[in-house]
């Protein structure tokens, strides 16, 4: 008989998607009290005349005519269009100290923010403040600093192109490049790594390519939860017989079997489609080794073929015409032994060879990847080795083949495209000069890690956040919280109350803004904004719901208010004109970034338009004009070998969460209900520590870079199908264990998915 499992832990055998997903949506609609209106809202998501779903950056089918059902998209939309409100009465009732004790779920679940608020230390409460007064305080605060470099300007990836562009204009006119943004925690390894490999920091495939590929390699992403609309694509591919090879330490349900809510037969018969044809449970941080193993197997097959007078398995014509560096890569791979690869990846030679054979036998291969690749101390190396792997057989820049990073927030890619970057290129500075007649500062600004460091040691005194929940999303919770409390000025432009707002400094202001679903009317009439998906498609988004209150403003309006109060008429920028009609913002974007030529016309075409991605057409905008095979250092240190009693902690999103937004306490596909205080562990790792499932455990960081001790206490151990040496827990709870200093040196991406730790029985009651 099976032992009794801990509270809330059950086997969940159903496929991902299916009826479970429909039931979950019905429940969410009811919880947010918007049954009638809410279902109509959902039908407008990702339709050509509707709004862009704030859920994820997966593209829409080019000719979306029918409603695409997506459980987590539905949650994101209902969470935003909720009927619940947090207004002045709420803040009269609850002090900030009291709210501090609430969970992240409780804070956001109060509903939409409706009034501009300022923290009053005497009463320990947020009080309403007028918009003009708030803007004046912000302007005074910024102008009181000794230097513009003492202020930080954070962007979370929901901001539209228009809001983000105005934000960077304000910041550059003010005089700094301090642009921490959520990409720094997310796909920065892609933005830094891919330009050196293939000349562009973006994915090369289009949605249509999935109809033509004949193998898909999936590394470190969990689409059933984080990009559910991608499941339709994978489902179709699997049904076409396309092998899908997965590398992931956890057996994610949707990558095993998926029932498409779009498929009447699967729904009626409660059947499902197997997704992965092979599932390789790589150790956390073992991808570099696995990728080197795959390439080693390809080279060995190539040698065998050549020895037998075959023509080899590499695409030699492509390599000769389009690439440089193969010999150096080959030397590195030859020098890496199978023994090292097997130990560091946790995968057998046979498994890696069989995956390589699938790769070799496929003419057109797409590789998809997510945070399992990027959020490591060697994230940039991982990305570049993945590009190498594709280049070996010319799987780049042709139909049905290419690289597909799964981006996070719905417009995180667009925000970067329109100028949110701490390292401005000459092209960007020239463009700004053309459009606005001034030359913005060129010196490198702060990324997210540098921002927290600067706040911590007092070099930065102000922080303006265009959305997000920076200190909760960042590693090293204790440091981040302390850094927030030292600020002279903090401003949060937000839709919902979150913990960042409770980390008050001298002057702390929360400004309520519209979300994607809200109708945005300015002087010239209703406005659309534009966004870029993870396949570089730019399209319009227009909300249609009445905003949650009279007081709320659009993000562009709030940025303009801050800009006018801070800059006056510096450089003669026509802020009011741009705000009155967003077409005028787009006219300026087009001047700065010529790739947006004819922006206002092209974005009005159904489905929008695609920005240039040179590598998609085999144009390599690298320094050599070729695609580059790049070498990464060895694999041993990267896999953070589990010497002694050390383990590697990886941090995950549950199914009922959107980053720091916790919709609910379930993680259905992993069999967790009503709790998040769990750590997934291999049964042998439990036994080796004298622990049993259900035991309370503490997690201690083994990172020694700064001599500080970090840890969390009183979590519950769950026996789980996960490689030995790897454990997993939820983000953001685990951020207290992760050191700010533990990040990819090349991109600054925190090593959220490769944290060296020790697990011990808990003394906590
Ligand atoms: N519903 C919902 N949608 C979202 C989000 C959300 O929180 N909720 N967040 C959005 C954002 S900002 C982002 S960036 C994306 C994130 O989307 P994902 O990249 O899918 O995010 P994660 O949940 O962090 O984890 C990815 C997967 O990596 C695996 N993994 C962990 N460590 C390793 C490793 O070392 N190697 C390998 N190969 N795999 C590993 C985990 O088991 C997990 O399956 O989703 C976006 N969409
Ligand atoms: N341990 C660990 N930590 C991680 C990760 C991980 O995998 N593991 N992932 C990292 C990743 S990939 C990312 S992207 C970051 C995410 O970091 P952030 O982007 O900073 O965090 P979010 O949780 O997405 O932000 C949620 C808040 O955004 C506000 N918001 C929502 N919609 C809107 C809007 O339309 N406009 C405005 N102005 N505000 C809005 C709401 O107030 C809400 O509370 O976290 C990172 N942190
Ligand atoms: Mo992200």
The predicted-structure confidence for 424-454, as pLDDT tens digits, reads as follows: 999 999 999 999 999 999 999 999 999 999 9
Q: Which of 55, 78, 372, 467 to mutate to test the pocket of ligand 2 (most atoms within 8 A of CB)?
A: 467
Integer CA distances (angstroms), 682 to 89, 685, 726, 732, 758, in order = 49, 5, 8, 22, 14
Residue 480 CB less than 6 A away from ligand 2: no
Q: Over 60: is that where the pLDDT of 1 sits? A: no
Distance CA 88, CA 126 (A): 8
Strand partners, 712: 699
The answer on 400 and 276 residing in a single domain is: yes
Residue 735 CB less than 6 A away from ligand 2: yes
Query: Ligand 2 atom 47: the closest Cα is on which residue?
Result: 473
The answer on 478 and 516 residing in a single domain is: yes
Q: Over 60: is that where the pLDDT of 642 sits? A: no
Residue 466 CB less than 6 A away from ligand 2: yes
How many Cα atoms occupy the beta-carbon half-sphere of 209 within 13 Å?
25
Residue 759 CB less than 6 A away from ligand 2: no
Q: Over 60: is that where the pLDDT of 16 sits? A: yes
Closest CA relative to residue 229, chosen from 204, 248, 203, 210: 210
Assign residue 145 the CATH number of its domain.
3.40.50.740
| 734 belongs to a structural domain | yes
| 416 belongs to a structural domain | no
Final residue before a domain boundary, out of 80, 108, 131: 80
Q: Over 90: is that where the pLDDT of 56 sits? A: no
Q: Within 308-411, where are the H helices?
A: 316-322, 326-335, 338-345, 349-361, 371-374, 379-391
Q: Which ligand is nearest to the CA of 732?
A: 2
| Angle formed by the axes of helices 477-485 and 448-456, nearest 10° | 60
The answer on 477 and 444 residing in a single domain is: yes
Q: Which ligand is nearest to the CA of 496?
A: 2
Closest CA relative to residue 379, chosen from 746, 642, 637: 746
Range of the domain at 45: 16-80
Query: Ligand 2 atom 21: the closest Cα is on which residue?
Result: 468
Closest ligand 1 atom to Cα of 56 = 47
pLDDT of residue 262: 81
The answer on 321 and 441 residing in a single domain is: no
| 3 belongs to a structural domain | no
How big is the chain, counted in residues?
765
Query: Ligand 1 atom 30: the closest Cα is on which residue?
Result: 372
Portion of the chain with pLDDT greater than 90, in percent = 84
Three-state SS sequence of 108-119: HHCCEECCCEEE
Distance CA 449, CA 460 (A): 13
Terminal Cα-to-Cα distance of the chain (whole angstroms): 29
pLDDT of residue 232: 92
**Can you read off the two tokens belonging to residue 102?**
């609430």
Residue 652 CB less than 6 A away from ligand 1: yes
CA 173 centroid distance within chain: 28
Residue 467 CB less than 6 A away from ligand 2: yes
Q: Are 225 and 251 in contact (CB under 8 A)?
A: no
Query: Ligand 2 atom 23: the closest Cα is on which residue?
Result: 660
Encode pLDDT of 203-251 as tens digits.
999 999 999 999 999 999 999 999 999 999 999 999 999 999 999 999 9
pLDDT of residue 549: 94
pLDDT, average across residues 131-143: 98
**Can you read off the two tokens belonging to residue 561?**
């208010």
The answer on 284 and 207 residing in a single domain is: yes
Closest CA relative to residue 505, chosen from 478, 487, 492, 483: 487
| Angle formed by the axes of helices 426-436 and 582-592, nearest 10° | 130
Closest ligand 1 atom to Cα of 655 = 1
Q: Are 245 and 276 in contact (CB under 8 A)?
A: yes
Distance (angstroms) between ligand 1 centre and the Cα of 593 equals 31
The answer on 439 and 395 residing in a single domain is: no
Confidence category of residue 587, pLDDT binned at 50, 70, 90: very high
Encode pLDDT of 341-386 as tens digits.
999 999 999 999 999 999 999 999 999 999 999 999 999 999 999 9
Q: How many domains does the chain have?
A: 4
| 422 belongs to a structural domain | no
The answer on 364 and 230 residing in a single domain is: yes
| 46 belongs to a structural domain | yes
Distance (angstroms) between ligand 2 centre and the Cα of 593 equals 27
Distance (angstroms) between ligand 3 centre and the Cα of 498 equals 18
The answer on 69 and 98 residing in a single domain is: no
pLDDT, average across residues 144-168: 98
Q: Are 422 and 446 in contact (CB under 8 A)?
A: yes
| 52 belongs to a structural domain | yes
The answer on 396 and 355 residing in a single domain is: yes
Distance CA 90, CA 107 (A): 11
Question: CA angle at residue 361 from 355 to 367, to 5 degrees?
Answer: 55
Assign residue 356 the CATH number of its domain.
3.40.228.10
Query: Ligand 1 atom 42: the closest Cα is on which residue?
Result: 250
Distance (angstroms) between ligand 1 centre and the Cα of 219 equals 10
Assign residue 719 the CATH number of its domain.
2.40.40.20
| 244 belongs to a structural domain | yes
Distance CA 701, CA 755 (A): 7
| Cβ atoms within 10 Å, residue 50 | 21
Residue 108 CB less than 6 A away from ligand 2: yes
Encode pLDDT of 511-535 as tens digits.
999 999 999 999 999 999 999 999 9
The answer on 677 and 729 residing in a single domain is: yes
Final residue before a domain boundary, out of 606, 624, 657: 606
| 310 belongs to a structural domain | yes
How many Cα atoms occupy the beta-carbon half-sphere of 82 within 13 Å?
21
Distance CA 542, CA 49 (A): 7
The answer on 457 and 385 residing in a single domain is: no
Dihedral of the alpha carbons of 109, 115, 116, 118, in degrees to the nearest 10:
-70
The answer on 92 and 72 residing in a single domain is: no
The three-class DSSP label of residue 425 is coil
């Amino acid at each position: 008989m099976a032992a009794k499992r801990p509270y809330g832990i059950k086997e969940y055998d159903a496929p991902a998607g299916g009826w479970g997903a429909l039931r979950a949506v019905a429940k969410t609609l009811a919880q947010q009290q918007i049954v009638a209106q809410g279902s109509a809202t959902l039908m407008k998501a990702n339709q050509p005349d509707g709004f862009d779903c704030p859920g994820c950056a997966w593209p829409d089918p080019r000719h979306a005519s029918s409603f695409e059902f997506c459980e987590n998209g539905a949650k994101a939309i209902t969470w935003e269009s909720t009927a619940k409100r947090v207004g002045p009465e709420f803040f009269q009732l609850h002090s900030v100290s009291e709210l501090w004790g609430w969970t992240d779920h409780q804070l956001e679940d109060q509903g939409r923010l409706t009034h501009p608020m300022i923290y009053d230390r005497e009463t320990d409460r947020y009080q309403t403040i007028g918009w003009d007064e708030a803007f004046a305080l912000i302007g005074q605060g910024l102008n009181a600093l000794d230097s513009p470099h003492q202020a930080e300007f954070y962007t979370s990836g929901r901001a539209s192109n228009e809001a983000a562009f105005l934000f960077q204009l304000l910041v550059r006119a003010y005089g700094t490049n301090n642009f921490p943004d959520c990409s720094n925690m997310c796909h920065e390894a892609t933005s830094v790594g891919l330009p050196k490999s293939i000349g562009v920091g973006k994915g090369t495939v289009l949605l249509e390519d999935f109809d033509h590929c004949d193998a898909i390699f999936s590394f470190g992403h969990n689409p059933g939860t984080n990009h559910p609309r991608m499941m339709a694509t994978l489902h179709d591919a699997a049904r076409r017989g396309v092998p899908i090879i997965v590398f992931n330490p956890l057996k994610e349900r949707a990558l095993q079997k998926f029932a498409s809510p779009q498929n009447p037969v699967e729904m009626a018969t409660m059947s499902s489609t197997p997704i992965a044809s092979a599932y390789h449970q790589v150790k956390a941080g073992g991808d570099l080794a696995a990728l080197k193993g795959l390439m080693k197997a390809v080279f060995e097959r190539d040698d065998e073929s050549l020895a037998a007078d075959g023509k080899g398995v590499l695409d030699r014509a492509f390599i000769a015409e389009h690439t440089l560096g193969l010999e150096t890569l080959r030397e590195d791979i030859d020098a890496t032994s199978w023994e090292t690869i097997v130990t560091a990846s946790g995968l057998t030679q046979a498994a890696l060879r069989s995956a390589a054979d699938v790769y070799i036998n496929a003419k057109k291969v797409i590789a998809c990847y997510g945070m399992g690749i990027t959020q490591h101390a060697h994230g940039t190396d991982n990305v570049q080795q993945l590009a190498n792997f594709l280049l070996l057989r010319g799987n780049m820049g042709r139909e049905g083949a290419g690289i597909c990073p799964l981006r996070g927030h719905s417009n995180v890619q667009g925000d970067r495209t329109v100028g949110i970057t701490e390292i401005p290129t000459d092209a960007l500075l020239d463009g700004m000069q053309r459009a606005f007649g001034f030359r913005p500062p060129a010196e490198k600004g702060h990324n997210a890690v540098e921002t927290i460091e600067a706040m911590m040691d007092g070099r930065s005194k102000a922080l303006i956040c265009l959305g997000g929940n920076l200190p909760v999303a960042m590693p090293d919770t204790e440091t981040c919280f302390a850094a927030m409390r030292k600020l002279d000025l903090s401003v949060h432009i937000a839709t919902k109350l979150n913990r960042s707002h409770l980390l008050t400094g001298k002057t702390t202001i929360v400004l309520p803004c519209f979300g994607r679903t809200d109708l945005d009317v300015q002087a010239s009439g209703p406005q659309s904004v534009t966004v870029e998906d993870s396949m570089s498609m730019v399209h319009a988004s227009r909300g249609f719901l009445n905003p949650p209150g009279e007081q709320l403003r659009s993000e562009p309006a709030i940025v303009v208010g801050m800009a006018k109060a801070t800059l006056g008429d510096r450089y003669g920028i026509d802020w009011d004109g741009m705000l009155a009609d967003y077409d005028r913002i787009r006219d300026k974007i087009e001047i700065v970034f010529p790739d947006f030529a004819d922006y206002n016309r092209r974005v009005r075409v159904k489905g929008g338009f695609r920005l240039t991605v040179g590598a998609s057409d085999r144009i390599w905008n690298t320094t050599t004009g070729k695609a580059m095979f790049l070498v990464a250092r060895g694999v041993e240190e990267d896999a953070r070998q589990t010497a002694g009693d050390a383990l590697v902690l990886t941090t995950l999103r549950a199914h009922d969460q959107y980053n720091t937004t916790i919709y609910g306490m379930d993680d259905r596909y992993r069999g967790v209900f009503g709790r998040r205080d769990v750590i997934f562990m291999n049964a042998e790792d439990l036994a080796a520590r004298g622990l049993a499932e259900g035991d309370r455990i503490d997690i201690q960081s083994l990172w020694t870079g700064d001599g500080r001790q970090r840890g969390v206490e009183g979590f519950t151990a769950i026996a789980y199908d996960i490689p030995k040496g790897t454990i997993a827990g939820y983000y953001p709870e685990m951020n207290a264990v992760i050191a700010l200093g533990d990040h990819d040196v090349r991109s600054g991406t925190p090593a959220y998915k490769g944290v060296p730790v020790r697990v011990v029985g808990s003394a906590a009651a």
